[in-house]
Structure 1
């Protein structure tokens, strides 16, 4: 089935919108999560926890995620991955208050592992599905669209976040993470 120019342009618009939300929300959530851990534990190492876990998960999941995406349909993989991410976020928000001090590191590490694994699977599946989303004349435009959202990143990194170190601000920002995941979910489900 051929993909029309209108459908291709619609997919590119969805991608640009999703990347904008991702840039705005994902980075803010990671920053607020690090500040929440720093405030709760008093350990400066906990602030960089996210930065340590992401490359480890990416390296360990490189071959298995690639094989998964190559052997199964990409759309269900993305839907399952993003649903798992939303579920992990909800569980994390519900159980975090039952931990205190340095004990908050354990649920945070578990959430970050699931989060980065989901991001890795979704990104790989999306990258592999580019040919299925738009017609051949629009592939380059679609491949360039992620950089459009990242050009706005410096503007949003300087926004002040009131009460960022408190747990409430972190949970408020989990709504941003949920918005980011939901936009990707909507995008892959169309």
Structure 2
């Protein structure tokens, strides 16, 4: 295949990847919201609603390393298509069950868990395929479009899920899901997941495959040898952990302390995704960041500064609508800043991780991130009960600053971008000459 044909194919992949990712992510968001409403309506129990979240999170946490191993050791296209077909079959089975019998809370739990597993396998495999689908020069654009899809699903999923659940029957609601997943399958079947692959065509069949345990262990060993990738993973995990203070603190501060109306609170939550969307579109339009790790470090420090500003209205009294506008602006800024971190970091990971290890690295990262979030939520939830909210959040900021300044110290940044050292040397020589 000529280079010109490859470029055309890569452009096609960029758009089909974005559309299929949007459909599957949007469908999962719509289903999760509708399923939650159904469980609440059926049982009136917050505990039963929480079980739906467990059914979504727990399978991802446990199976992510296995999904990564499979993505690295088997052809990616069949994995993604089988996973998406699994999503179609799961929702179709629930539809048939609802037509023959009365739909039950247990059936919702089962389908939620199955969709969590299928989306995990397709998501990890897609993440490990971006570079081979679009080539090295379009990774930032692909990562930006991927983040745009997530933001749109986060904004629109609950809205569409609520409308469908409220205005239509459960049959129509489930049919909507089936059609979305089916279109995603059709699009993904036209994609060439080996377009820019550097691995031998039959390497997986020619070499003796490691067992699952051996494969996961070799993925961990590989991660330990990659200093920059390990750094990114650890910084990401600490951010996930400490930003649980925001996830727990936002409803506590806004609803319990500032008595913000539920409608306004919903707007504040939604505008985070609007900021993410605009931030991702910015990266889709601009040239690739020259020093992504340094750029992301600055983004993390800005994010910590925004977190430190979060409890200000609980310390300095503002009028009701002053609080509302303040948090709209703050959460919008959070969304934009998250993209200033996630997109360059994603580009680094796509370029630096060797192709044969990408699935396992992304799988391990998924497991560790899923474990850190509930752990952080539990710890900060307990802290908010015994310590003033502002001190909990400011304490989290101080710990996070110390961790980031140590892990992303200048010597490490220079290791990732050696040209920065040369640049500083030239500046020093120029000053000396003057």
TM superposition score category, shorter chain reference = 0.7 to 0.9
- Tell me which structure has the larger Cα radius of gyration: 2
Q: Given the two structures, how large is their TM-score scaled by the length of structure 1?
A: 0.83
Give me the whole-angstrom Cα distance separating, in 2, the residues matched to 1:64 and 1:92.
26
Matched-pair contact (CA < 8 Å) for 1:75–1:189: yes
Give me the whole-angstrom Cα distance separating, in 1, the residues matched to 2:50 and 2:187.
30
Give me the whole-angstrom Cα distance separating, in 2, the residues matched to 1:135 and 1:85.
28
Matched-pair contact (CA < 8 Å) for 1:34–1:49: no
Structure 2 SS opposite 1:184? helix
CA displacement at 1:115 relative to structure 2: 0.8
Q: Given the two structures, how large is their TM-score scaled by the length of structure 2?
A: 0.39
Relative to structure 2, which stretch is displaced further, 28-37 or 114-123? 28-37
CA displacement at 1:180 relative to structure 2: 3.2
CA displacement at 1:9 relative to structure 2: 1.5
Aligned residues: 186
CA displacement at 1:99 relative to structure 2: 4.1
CA displacement at 1:122 relative to structure 2: 0.4
- Aligned Cα root-mean-square deviation (Å): 2.6
CA displacement at 1:29 relative to structure 2: 2.0
Relative to structure 2, which stretch is displaced further, 69-78 or 16-25? 16-25
Equivalence for 1:148: 148
CA deviation profile, 1:93-150 (whole Å, cap 9, x unmatched): 11135246xxx12212211111110000000111111122122211221122111223
Relative to structure 2, which stretch is displaced further, 152-161 or 82-91? 152-161
Matched-pair contact (CA < 8 Å) for 1:69–1:77: yes
Unaligned runs of at least 5 residues, structure 2: 191-434
Equivalence for 2:15: 13
Give me the whole-angstrom Cα distance separating, in 2, the residues matched to 1:20 and 1:163.
18
CA displacement at 1:74 relative to structure 2: 0.7
Equivalence for 1:164: 165
Equivalence for 2:178: 178
Unaligned runs of at least 5 residues, structure 1: none
Matched-pair contact (CA < 8 Å) for 1:36–1:170: no
Structure 2 SS opposite 1:152? helix
Written as runs of structure 1 = structure 2, the 5 A alignment for 1:8-157 is 8-96=10-98, 98-99=101-102, 104-153=104-153, 155-156=155-156, 157=158
Give me the whole-angstrom Cα distance separating, in 2, the residues matched to 1:55 and 1:130.
24
Give me the whole-angstrom Cα distance separating, in 1, the residues matched to 2:30 and 2:146.
18
Give me the whole-angstrom Cα distance separating, in 1, the residues matched to 2:161 and 2:130.
36
